[in-house]
Structure 1
Amino acid sequence: MRTKAAFLVGGAIGYVLGTRAGREQFEKIRAQAQKLWEDPRVKSTVSDVEQRAATIVKEKAPEIREKVTEAVRSATDTVRSRTGEGDSPYGTTSGTTSTPGATS
């Protein structure tokens, strides 16, 4: 029990001392990061990357659209073949066809 209490007291002291030094260090790092982000060279590089990315997306969009369309068609065909939707306008369940309004 004594070991547990000593551990908790040590942890509490470490937490208090760490938060004071930690907060100060955090503020320094945050200020440096903000200064770096506002640097004109960084802003220019970010702008260039954004423009390149937009160009690539515009170039690849038709190709991606075609691939997605084909994937959706394939998935739709697979689902239809598994459900038997193509055989009957009402679909099938466990090999039996259902009729609207019919009761079992």
Structure 2
Amino acid sequence: MKDLYVYYQVKEEHAQALEARIRALQGKLAAASGVAPQLKRRPEAKDGLQTWMEIYPVVGEGFTELLASVAEEAGLLSLTAGARHTEVFMDLPPCA
């Protein structure tokens, strides 16, 4: 299994509207896939921009595409300052 990390910046004046959309999106994804999403942001803003991160732990095949589709449908890019960047990480196997 893999974990997905999505990070991006948002202008401070769009933060409240974006948070509402992200929370709704994550609720739908949790109900549909059983994933337990998280939403985080850096404590400080720089030049009027906040850096946010969505975390989707232990996702299955096809989740990355599902997330991209749902994010586009929710119009998230209209509220972010630039692109959403997705990184995929996996657990290392334990030492034998």
Normalised to the residue count of structure 1, the TM-score between the two structures is 0.22
Higher RCO (C-alpha under 8 Å, 6+ residues apart): 2
Please identify which structure carries the higher helix content: 1
Normalised to the residue count of structure 2, the TM-score between the two structures is 0.24
